[in-house]
Amino acid sequence: MTIRPLVIIPDSKLRLVSEPVQEITGEIRRLADDMLETMYDAPGVGLAAIQIGVPVRMVTMDVSKSEDERQPMVLINPEIVWASEAKRVYEEGCLSIPEYYEEVERPDRVRFRYMDLEGATIEQEADGLLATCVQHEIDHLNGVLFIDYLSKLKRDRVMTKFKKAAKREAGA
């Protein structure tokens, strides 16, 4: 397992729409291992493959409360098949937008379908943090960031901040 570098805004890769995984290969399994290792190291509760520069529809998540009770999930080609009309506000952050958090309103409950590493199709319902995380990570696969749900003013502020940081880093 390898910890991979994270793609940080304003990198345009984060706006790519990821391609479906066609076949579960050894390479896909290694990618899943690397993604979990990277996610835990960051630390975060979710990671989309595009966040390490790989434009495939794969997500890793673990919303367990403690390191001792890890419950890693690997979702291949995930999709939301139902969302509740009831909404919930949750403070979100993103490994690709370090140290920035903002409240986002999303459906409170979702049903999602994905393939696991064994190739089985699984459908699952979620609420709370898991529902928020699933929606956030699937958004990444479609080139959408949580800041896209904010007002234009807030989104522009965060983009300006990270563009300046990227320029400073490039000049260093």
> Which active-site residues does the annotation give?
137
- 94 a known binding residue? yes
Q: Mapped to the 3 state alphabet, what secondary structure does the chain carry? A: CCCCCCCCCCCHHHHCCCECCCCCCHHHHHHHHHHHHHHHHCCCCEEEHHHHCCCECEEEECCCCCHHHCCCEEEEEEEEEEECCCEEEEEEEECCEEEEEEEEEEECEEEEEEECCCCCEEEEEEEHHHHHHHHHHHHHHCCCCHHHHCCHHHHHHHHHHHHHHHHHHHHC
Binding site for Fe cation: what residues are annotated? 94, 136, 140
